[in-house]
Structure 1
Amino acid sequence: MSKGFASSYRLVLLAVAIVGGFCALGVRLVFLHVIDREELVRVVEKARRQIIAEPARRGDIVSSRATARGNLQERALDRRESILATSRSMIILGVDPQSLRPEDEKKWPQLAELIGLPLRDLERVFRTKTRPVTAKGEAAEANPFLSALAGKTEEEAEEPDFVAESQANDAVDANGERPIRWAKLSENVSEGTYTLIRQLNIRGVYGNRVYRRTYPHNSLAAHLIGYVNKAGEAADGVERYADFYLRGRDGWREGERDGKGREVAQFRTREVAPSDGYSVVLSIDTAVQHMAEEELANIAATLNPQKATIIISDPNTGFIWAMANYPTFDLNTYSKIPKSQQRVMRNVAVADIYEPGSTFKIVALSGALNEGVVTPETRFDCSITSVMDDLGKMRSLPGEDHRFTEPLSVAQIASKSSNRGAAQLAIQLGRQRFYDYAHAFGFGERTGFPVGAEENGVLTSPKSPNWDGLTITRMPMGHSVDATALQMHMAMGVIASGGELLRPQIIREIRDASGEVVYRYGPVVKHRAISTQTARTMRRLLQGVVIEGTGRQAAIPNFEVAGKTGSTQKLIDGVYSSQHHVASFVGFFPASQPQVAISVIVDDANPLKGPYASGGTVAAPSFKRLGEQLIQYLDIRPVYSEAGTSNLAMGGLRR
């Protein structure tokens, strides 16, 4: 007779099964926690552990406000600034094809529309779940973000790049392929778009935040600002020069992720916050820079030059307010410039040299006056064709653009731009002293300008074999010497500053992420070139160039304008051409109290009237137009004498 449902046999069988299960579980636990523990922990840590980089934000490059009056402290506190370069937060969007769910497929069209990607391309990326294991691919796994750019030009890197990456610890299948764990969909997703993408809740689609460099003013001051390339490297301009301050320091955090690849914040173990880069404040004023670039556009449209440069600065401090070149380029699309046209990226104001022509005559004039060998009233016969040099040898004199039948005073040599007069002044100095003054004015060496691959220029020493019998008579008129536009600008600045050669400056301040000033730059005097009295005399002589000489088209009514024209023939195949010229006007105003210096250099202009592109007809009018705008913008007032009239006498030079 049965004793019930739970017979002794069944009870024993159940007990054995339970005990066996616990024994199996125990054995498994021993394997997991004792025998295979180290290997399993290593695998789990690889799968769950992660180090996430926190990119630092690159500092901004901003402009400052040019001020014609006031001390440096007042100028530094003027915060009317404009951002020239900044960093935008962007998302690199990718997908883990292994994590995709079938039920999310209906959301794919919405995602494709949000990121501007054809649906067929999106589906191709989503459905490609493995990749062949190759030497190139394995090497790329070490850094999946940089591998996206490997083997591509920067122009190609602008396009969507569907790079697929695998995890090194994923097994390789029988076909020699490894599962794809990340494939890039887009590298330029905005924060707002990424918010909408996250709302779609497509598992496996995620993004990594990066900062992209952008230039709000496009081509404005492009040759000065420089750019950051696609690899995040500062490539040129202030971006490169001040990279130490701008780049900041990336942070990172170490933690764990769950099965969906999401960070588990409570398991975060270590964290280092990023340190954002410092901001760099330039002396460039966007309004003044815009004036210069607008004038260059006008020059390009009317004269069709090969290239042209305009420099505007504070002659009392050496700070550059504008440096513009034609042709130019857009900083936001630099990577799309064909190699054949990349010359437009050269900062020709400092990277190209030219024979300055008659603007260089300020060296012989200043040197002779400074040494006391002449006065402004000393006269020279400029009709002669040869003269004895300081070595007692007869030297031929250069030709003149105009015939002078009467002796010219030193003041007239300046105003009428006499080549023979300048040569005789240099001979009065002697070759060595003349060379020393040219060197003192900054020729033959870099100015110290920090950006633009600056050239030294060429200034031949009297001790050099290249100094021949004609050099002493040709160099004073600006031949047999090569200079950059900035060297010529700073040389004229010697006269405007009162005799000192200043270092050109472009950076005013360095500020930390909170806006506090870390370092402030001030004027740097390289050395004294001429006396203050000589500088004053030269200012009056250079006024005569504008009042009654070759620079009359630079005159601004009721303002003392001082400057010098330059018109030099270009060397074409080793021969000076009568059809190709570099025309220039370099000057400042007001002459007695200089507040702004302007240089206009136009290479190979094609003037509308006549074949001769002189500095007086090509560059001087641009100087005037810029000067009139700057008078209004900087609120520059005329300088008046005690009698209440302007120091500029309309009939001649006031002495």
Structure 2
Amino acid sequence: MKNLKNDILKRVYLVYAFVGVFALVILAQTFNVQYVEGAEWKKKAEDLTTSFRQIEAVRGNIYAADGSLLATSVPIFEVRFDAKTEALTDDIFYNEIDSLALQLSNLFKDKTASQYKRELTSARKKGSRYHLIKRNVKYTDLQKLKTFSIFRRGQYKGGFVYTQQNKRVRPFKILAERTIGYEREGIKPIGLEGAYTNYLKGVNGKRLMKKIAGGVWMPISDENDIEPLDGSDIYTTIDINLQDVAENALMTQLQQHEAGHGSVVLMEVETGNIKAIANLQRDKNGNYNESYNYALGYSTEPGSVFKLASLMAAFEDGYLSLDDIVSTGNGVIKFYGAEMKDSHEGGYGDITVQRSFEVSSNVAISKLIVKNYGNKPQEFVDRIRQFGLGEKLGVEITGEGEPLIKNPSDKSWSGITLPWMSIGYEVHLTPLQTLTFYNAVANNGKMVKPRFVTHINQRGRAIKEIKTEVLNPSICSQKTIDMAKKMLEGVVEEGTAKNLKNANFKIAGKTGTAQIANKSGGYKNEGGVTYQASFVGYFPSDKPKYSCIVVVAAPSRNVYYGNLVAGPIFKEVADKIYATSFAIHKPLAKRESSAVSKIPYAKDGYWEDLSKIYAEIGVKTTKSVKSAEWVSVKTGDRNVELYPKKMNEMLVANVVGLSVKDALFVLENQGLQVKFIGKGMVKSQSIQPGEKISKGSTIILELA
């Protein structure tokens, strides 16, 4: 019995021993697989991981109105070397590695040929499947790489592997940068890139790829399984030349006045097309850049530019006319204990409504509005809202600022709200909202929505047209519009913006100088009061073609009035447009046809040339101008009279009527750069005769 028990125990111990040994073997093998051979097995597992991966479609282009590229996608490539590809023999590799290393060194200039050789040889010995050669390779360089030794054999025979990514670039850098915008993963899209991303992004393709060490996905073949469909192209209203003018003019004034930020918007009156939109902000280093779209999103108290809406409300309701008289007293008035002042100390005395607007009298305009609407403020608010103020414009670009037009029922309405509201306080508008209102006045009451894009193309074919949208066919009566226009013209001719007066064309507009409220609602900061200078208007005033607003915030050199800070920017933009756009020039009187004259008609020109020609054909000329080099021609029935054409060396010459040859001779000798449009003799010149010569300036001649 005892022997049987011992025999059973031996067998149990033997089983335990066997199980223990087996467990130790398993543990040893597990350790070996995980820690000794782990890297190799992991690599093999990764090599077997394949999946269809998305291939990013090329994003569509964004174009300016003239076809210039504002934003485009440039392909960039990541190049790798499959050193273990079976078709690449040692004979091929070692025979051509020196040549390849030298070619890579010459192309990228980041390593010597010996460094490249050592690197690629090491990858070959290690059996690296996808050794990184270079990131961010340009398309032109990729094409060169395809011709290099070893690589020219392709992926399977030469180990040449590359993947494509698309990089978004803006050829004009910061010009309209915030309006063009961007769309990036994980960041809220802005600008036109965000607004039209569904058109721009296209449709991604698919490609079978393999996951390698480091989590990198590499293509298995050279071909895509599903080709991506490129995005559509967006055509904007932006004129890149006018955008450049606006941006530079704004930059100059901001730097001169050390201002915090500023914006300029130029709009085509009839269509609402935004031809230029510039936004600049000073950073902590004192540099200016486009970091926020102030024109679209900056909703603040507009100040005196709101006075136009206040008076138009009273005109429309029949309470006022331009000739009504209002007393400004000593230039100070109190409403419920709150004091309001005019900028002109001592006031303006008794003045007309027209004059009160021209000099921007706070006292006069607030008195007029309180007198007529003090007992019925809702009527005033309703009329303001009828003008389209108080509602968002609904433009496609995200981030439009919220306008604020208070109602008498609001908790924040007080006894001083109406008078302060009448002069542009306790209301909020963005520059673009203010401009749209002024543009409606220029457009005889028709309010159009600002337009940034005209059409969308897909592979050269228009798939969507974006027409001008009318927000309100008539914001008020024509009588009110006419009075508003007369006031706006008066501001430039006789009022606060006389410094913008122009001999060539008339500007109409309104200056604004507003105190900027701080976070607590007051207007004083540690450094005193912060101001916002503005000017908004249109030109030419008789036949408005363009409207424009300029807003400059926080000028810090004790100059903060709208006519001095914002006005010069408006004037520079308007002058440049006038100099380059004959569409806004007044038509010239037609010259009497030479067909009715018996004597051949001649252009104005050089006296010696003309006298010789007339002598040859037997036509008598007057002899009183022999001392003059340049002459004007008056053709009679039997003779020709030649009058001296005065040329002052210090002033721009009058070359109207001269031939191109003679005009070039005169103007280039005066140090001017000459460009001309059309054919024939000079019909008009962009720089008016008699203006002081600025050497190197460009003058444009229209020929006919």
Spell out the pairing of 1:468-617 with structure 2 (5 A cutoff). Answer: 468-513=414-459, 515-527=460-472, 528-572=474-518, 574-576=522-524, 579-607=529-557, 611-617=558-564
Residue 40 of structure 1: aligned partner: none
On the 8 A contact 1:582/1:601 being kept in 2, the answer is yes
On the 8 A contact 2:331/2:342 being kept in 1, the answer is no
Residue 170 of structure 1: aligned partner: none
On the 8 A contact 2:174/2:290 being kept in 1, the answer is no
CA, structure 1 residues 196+590, in 2 after alignment: closer, same or farther (shift >3 Å)?
Answer: closer
Residue 189 of structure 1: aligned partner: 137
Q: Which runs of 5+ in 2 are unaligned?
A: 1-43, 152-157, 211-217, 590-704
Check if 1:219 corresponds to 2:174.
yes
Shift in Å at residue 289 of structure 1?
0.4
Output one character per residue of 1:447-489: Cα deviation in whole Å (capped at 9) or x when no partner: 2222252210333221111111111111111112222111221
Residue 646 of structure 1: aligned partner: none
2:235 to 281, 298, 303: 281
Shift in Å at residue 220 of structure 1?
1.1
Number of residue pairs matched by the alignment: 514
User: Aligned equivalents of 2:323 and 2:221: distance in 1?
Assistant: 87
User: Aligned equivalents of 2:555 and 2:206: distance in 1?
Assistant: 56
Shift in Å at residue 52 of structure 1?
7.2
On the 8 A contact 1:396/1:473 being kept in 2, the answer is no
User: Aligned equivalents of 1:497 and 1:246: distance in 2?
Assistant: 33
Q: Which amino acid aligns with 1:111?
A: L
2:340 to 386, 398, 411: 398
CA, structure 1 residues 452+347, in 2 after alignment: closer, same or farther (shift >3 Å)?
Answer: farther
CA, structure 1 residues 342+249, in 2 after alignment: closer, same or farther (shift >3 Å)?
Answer: farther
On the 8 A contact 2:509/2:535 being kept in 1, the answer is yes
Output one character per residue of 1:268-319: Cα deviation in whole Å (capped at 9) or x when no partner: 8x95333221100001110110110110121123222111111100122221
CA, structure 1 residues 339+326, in 2 after alignment: closer, same or farther (shift >3 Å)?
Answer: closer
Residue 58 of structure 2: aligned partner: 57
CA, structure 1 residues 338+560, in 2 after alignment: closer, same or farther (shift >3 Å)?
Answer: closer
On the 8 A contact 2:78/2:134 being kept in 1, the answer is yes
CA, structure 1 residues 124+545, in 2 after alignment: closer, same or farther (shift >3 Å)?
Answer: farther
Check if 1:380 corresponds to 2:326.
yes
Check if 1:294 corresponds to 2:245.
no
User: Which fold has the larger relative contact order, with Cα–Cα distance below 8 Å and residues 6 or more apart in sequence?
Assistant: 1
Spell out the pairing of 1:77-156 with structure 2 (5 A cutoff). Answer: 80-99=66-85, 103=94, 105-106=97-98, 107-108=100-101, 110-118=103-111
Residue 670 of structure 2: aligned partner: none
Tell me the SS of whatever aligns to 1:200: coil
CA, structure 1 residues 621+388, in 2 after alignment: closer, same or farther (shift >3 Å)?
Answer: closer
2:410 to 464, 470, 486: 464
CA, structure 1 residues 560+638, in 2 after alignment: closer, same or farther (shift >3 Å)?
Answer: farther
Output one character per residue of 1:356-397: Cα deviation in whole Å (capped at 9) or x when no partner: 1100101111111111111111111222789899xxxx6766
User: Aligned equivalents of 2:70 and 2:160: distance in 1?
Assistant: 34
TM-score by length of 2: 0.66
User: Aligned equivalents of 1:298 and 1:472: distance in 2?
Assistant: 37
User: Aligned equivalents of 2:119 and 2:56: distance in 1?
Assistant: 27
On the 8 A contact 1:61/1:282 being kept in 2, the answer is yes
User: Aligned equivalents of 2:160 and 2:582: distance in 1?
Assistant: 58
Tell me the SS of whatever aligns to 1:398: strand
More deviation, 500-509/435-444: 435-444
Spell out the pairing of 1:3-402 with structure 2 (5 A cutoff). Answer: 51=52, 54-64=55-65, 80-99=66-85, 103=94, 105-106=97-98, 107-108=100-101, 110-118=103-111, 181-198=129-146, 199-202=148-151, 203-229=158-184, 235-252=189-206, 271-327=225-281, 344-383=290-329, 398-402=340-344
CA, structure 1 residues 426+636, in 2 after alignment: closer, same or farther (shift >3 Å)?
Answer: farther
On the 8 A contact 1:553/1:624 being kept in 2, the answer is no
User: Aligned equivalents of 1:613 and 1:571: distance in 2?
Assistant: 15
User: Aligned equivalents of 1:365 and 1:271: distance in 2?
Assistant: 67
Residue 629 of structure 1: aligned partner: 576
Shift in Å at residue 216 of structure 1?
0.9
On the 8 A contact 1:234/1:243 being kept in 2, the answer is no
Tell me the SS of whatever aligns to 1:417: coil
User: Aligned equivalents of 2:205 and 2:419: distance in 1?
Assistant: 64
Tell me the SS of whatever aligns to 1:88: strand
Residue 40 of structure 2: aligned partner: none
CA, structure 1 residues 445+96, in 2 after alignment: closer, same or farther (shift >3 Å)?
Answer: farther
On the 8 A contact 1:386/1:395 being kept in 2, the answer is no
Q: Which runs of 5+ in 1 are unaligned?
A: 1-42, 65-79, 131-177, 329-336, 643-655
TM-score by length of 1: 0.70
Shift in Å at residue 521 of structure 1?
1.4
User: Aligned equivalents of 1:436 and 1:124: distance in 2?
Assistant: 80
Tell me the SS of whatever aligns to 2:104: helix
Q: Which amino acid aligns with 1:236?
A: I
On the 8 A contact 1:419/1:477 being kept in 2, the answer is yes
On the 8 A contact 1:94/1:184 being kept in 2, the answer is yes
Shift in Å at residue 340 of structure 1?
12
Check if 1:424 corresponds to 2:373.
no
Q: Whose Rg is larger? A: 2
Check if 1:619 corresponds to 2:612.
no
Shift in Å at residue 180 of structure 1?
6.2
Output one character per residue of 1:152-188: Cα deviation in whole Å (capped at 9) or x when no partner: xxxxxxxxxxxxxxxxxxxxxxxxxx99643544332
Tell me the SS of whatever aligns to 1:363: helix
On the 8 A contact 1:96/1:182 being kept in 2, the answer is yes
